[in-house]
């Protein structure tokens, strides 16, 4: 069987990649991925053959990886974060039925929900939901329903793809849905460029978040009714009893 790795490279920085992922990339002959993600790893793996496709060419990218693996090469398909979270793993399995001689080996990575949460503090200590605001593959009506039901159930909500040039008001629209069920003072946060140059995190209220402009390299966290701002950090209590400080 020929080997084709599907690898989550984490948020971007080499130090945030798992050891298993790095070792698999070292052992690969060819590294395939979206142009931006390949550029993140290229300098760390010199001598490899790199193949890329732009956004919206995901099917072609997967077929390219399988074609190279079918030639007997060890191939790595890379995704940012975890390849199984809004990544290529599912599509690789769907296309892989046509390549029975190629064995998929999956290597997880650090997804934005958790790596960005570490920048903000501890927003995901209790139940949470992750929703992408990209309507490229999912109807906006379905996204709206998911966001509102998560807010009604008092989940902490992590929003992927909160904005783009064509979706400038999607975060505002999502906040309006949450405001039907949560206080305007609900503690929220967002992180830009997680694990990459220019990383910055901000903690603010839901009211303030609604009027904040973000980009496609930003991930957003909306707290639940219990989430607190503790010393500028976003903290969602699990429910442990904390002794009161004696005066």
Hey, where are the domains in the chain? 2-107, 112-235
User: Is the model's pLDDT at 68 over the cut of 90?
Assistant: yes
Instruction: Give me the percent of the chain exceeding a pLDDT of 90.
Output: 91
pLDDT of residue 225: 98
Same fold, 2-107 and 112-235: no
List the structure tokens of 203.
Answer: 């903690």
Q: How confident is the model at residue 246 (pLDDT cuts 50, 70, 90)?
A: low
- Third-level CATH fold of 112-235: 3.30.950
CATH of range 2-107; options 2.40.50.140, 3.40.50.300, 3.40.1010.10, 3.10.290.10: 3.40.1010.10
Q: For position 25, what pLDDT does the model report?
A: 98
125 and 27 Cβ atoms separated by less than 8 Å: no
The stretch 2-29 carries a mean pLDDT of 96
Answer yes or no: are the C-beta atoms of 162 and 173 closer than 8 Å: no
Say if CB 107 and CB 5 are below 8 A apart: yes
Mean pLDDT of 54-63: 93
Q: What whole-number distance in Å separates Cα of residue 208 and Cα of residue 217?
A: 19
**Predicted local distance difference test score (pLDDT) of residue 168:** 87
Q: Is the pLDDT of residue 201 over 90?
A: yes
CA atoms of 71 and 54, how far apart (whole Å): 23
Which pTM was predicted? 0.93
Q: Provide CB contacts within 8 A for 100, sequence distance 6+.
A: none
As a whole number, mean pLDDT of residues 47-64 equals 95
Asked if pLDDT for residue 143 goes beyond 70, the answer is: yes
* pLDDT confidence of residue 135: 94
pLDDT of 1 strictly over 80: no
pLDDT value, residue 247? 54
Residue 140 has pLDDT above 60, yes or no: yes
């Amino acid at each position: 069987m020929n080997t084709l790795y599907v690898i989550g490279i984490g948020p971007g920085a080499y130090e945030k990649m798992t050891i298993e992922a790095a070792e698999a990339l070292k052992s690969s002959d060819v590294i395939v991925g979206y142009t931006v993600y390949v550029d993140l790893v290229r300098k760390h793996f010199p001598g490899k053959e790199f193949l890329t496709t732009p956004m919206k060419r995901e099917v072609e990218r997967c077929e390219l990886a399988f074609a190279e693996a079918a030639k007997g090469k060890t191939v790595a398909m890379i995704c940012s974060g975890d390849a199984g979270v809004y990544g290529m793993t599912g599509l690789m399995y769907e296309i892989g039925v046509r390549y029975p001689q190629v064995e998929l080996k999956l290597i997880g990575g650090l997804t934005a929900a958790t790596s960005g949460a570490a920048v903000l503090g501890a927003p995901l200590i209790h139940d949470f939901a992750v929703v992408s605001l990209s309507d490229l593959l999912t109807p906006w009506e379905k996204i709206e329903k998911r966001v509102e039901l998560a807010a009604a159930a008092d989940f902490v909500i992590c929003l992927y793809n909160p904005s783009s040039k064509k979706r400038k008001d999607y975060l505002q629209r999502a906040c309006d849905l949450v405001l039907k069920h949560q206080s305007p003072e609900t503690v929220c946060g967002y992180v830009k460029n997680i694990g990459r140059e220019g990383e910055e995190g901000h903690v603010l209220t839901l009211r303030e978040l609604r009027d904040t402009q973000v980009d496609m390299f930003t991930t957003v966290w909306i707290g639940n009714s219990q989430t607190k701002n503790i010393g500028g950090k976003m903290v969602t209590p699990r429910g442990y009893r904390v002794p009161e400080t004696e005066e």
